[in-house]
Amino acid sequence: MEESSLMQALEAVLFVSDEPVSPVVLAQALDSDRRTVENLCERLALVLEERGAGVVLRNIAGGWQLATHPDAASVLEQFVLSSRHARMTKASLETLAIVAYKQPVTRHQVAAVRGVNSDGVLHSLMDRGLLQEVGREDVPGRPMLYGTTPTFLERMGLPSLSALPSLAPLLDDAVDDEEPEETAGGSA
């Protein structure tokens, strides 16, 4: 394999790896020898550094790994923590809808509707600023009550919670689906 092709393949392998890759493993992946791979890694690290790339190639724990450049840390932190760039999972959307329509609601009530533990999802939605603690239920243990935030309204493009679409049409369809069909002979 020609050197430019080896370098391209090396970059690709390092890009998809989420942990340091040893020179032996890289050599096997590139069908090359360890010494050649070590030289390519050192050259790639230098090229990235010289051009001021947003990524660096580091020799960590006996292997090579691409990482973001330390100078980009503040931009990356802002990007990663920005809820505008993070896609909502199905679990997040379900949980958010339950809280929006039933608020104030406890984590136990959310879990009962979803049928699964929702603690992690609730915490994630609070971290994104879409949910907040709105009080405590007046029962033993005083569980936290969750509600939506002004950020939720902003992200959903709603002037207020009263602008949420009605659930009635959806509930009517669900009831129709559950009704038993009448038999041909009618009911007795």
Q: Where are the domains of the chain?
A: 3-72, 90-178
Contacts 24+ apart (CB under 8 A), 165-169: 167/101
Tokens 């992200």 — which residue?
155
The 10s digit of each residue's pLDDT in 117-144 is 999 999 999 998 999 999 999 999 999 9
Could you tell me which CATH number the domain at 90-178 has? 1.10.10.10
CB distance 118 to 146 below 8 Å: no
Distance of CA 20 to the CA centre of its chain: 23
135 in helix, strand or coil? Answer: strand
Q: pTM (2 decimals)?
A: 0.49
Tokens 């090579």 — which residue?
64
Question: Are β-strands 144-148 and 131-136 bridged in parallel, bridged antiparallel, or unpaired?
Answer: antiparallel
Tokens 């009911």 — which residue?
187
Give domain 3-72's CATH number out of 3.30.70.580, 1.10.10.10, 1.10.8.60, 3.40.50.2300.
1.10.10.10
The tokens describing 111, both together, are: 């879990």
The 10s digit of each residue's pLDDT in 81-108 is 665 556 788 999 999 999 999 999 999 9
